[in-house]
Structure 1
Amino acid sequence: MSTQHLEQPPFDVSFDLDGKRVIYLDCRNALTCSKETFAAMNGVSVDTVVAWMQTGTIPSVKMGRPRLVHLAQIRADLAKGKTIFAQGDYADE
C-alpha cells in the first residue's frame, strides 16, 4: 500500500458507508470533511467554520473525537433547492 503525502487541500480523510477509511483527493464525493478542508474549499477561516458548526448554520457529525462537516447533507439540501444556510438550520443535529 502506498502512502500519499499532500500538503494542500482539497484532500481529506473520511469514512465510506461501510466504515472503511478513505482518502479523498477531491471532496466532491466525500460524505464528510474536516473543518480545515471545508474552510479551504470555501475561502474562510477555520474559526468561521467552527462557529458555523456550533451555531447549526452547517450540518456536522461527530466521528470519534473530531466533529466533521456533513457534506452529503449539504449536497442533499442544495439538490432540494436550499440556497441560504442560516444560523440554527441544523441546531437539532
Structure 2
Amino acid sequence: MSTQHVEQPPFDVSFDLDGKRVVYLDCRNALLCSKETFAAMNGVTVDTVISWMQSGTVPSVKMGRPRLVNLAQLRADLAKGKTIFAQGDYGDD
C-alpha cells in the first residue's frame, strides 16, 4: 500500500465558485493552481511558469497575494481548439 504525501505536487489548494477553500489531490478538476503545481504538471521550472504568467502566455489571476494559473481558462481554450499559446494571449486579470 502506498502513501501520498499531500505536501508534494500535484497537490494544490484552490477555491470553488462560492469562494470556499478546496484541496485537490490531482488538479484535474481544479479551477486554479499554484505556479509550483503547474510547473510540476508540465515538467518545467517555477521560473518558467512565472515568465509565462508575466508575459501573458498562460492565463493567470491574482487571488489575494499569490498569482495563480487559471486552469479553467486553459481548459476552455483547449476545448475550443487552441493549440498555440504565445506571449500576450492573456491579459492581466
Query: Shared topology, TM-score over 0.5?
Result: yes
TM-superposed deviation, 1:27: 0.3
Show the 5 A alignment for 1:1-93: 6-91=6-91, 93=93
Q: CA, structure 1 residues 86+15, in 2 after alignment: closer, same or farther (shift >3 Å)?
A: same
State the AA in 1 paired with 2:90: Y
Q: 55-64 vs 6-15, which deviates more?
A: 6-15
TM-superposed deviation, 1:7: 3.2
| Structure 1 residue ranges (4+ consecutive) displaced by more than 2 angstroms after TM superposition | none
State the AA in 2 paired with 1:21: R
Structure 2, unpaired ranges of 5+? none
| Cα RMSD (Å) | 1.4
TM-score (norm 2): 0.92
Answer whether contact 2:31 2:70 (CA < 8 A) is retained: yes
Aligned residue for 1:36, secondary structure, equals: helix
Q: Distance in 2 between matches of 1:56 and 1:87?
A: 5
Q: Percent identity?
A: 87
TM-score (norm 1): 0.92
Question: What is the count of residue pairs matched by the alignment?
Answer: 90
Q: Distance in 2 between matches of 1:44 and 1:7?
A: 19
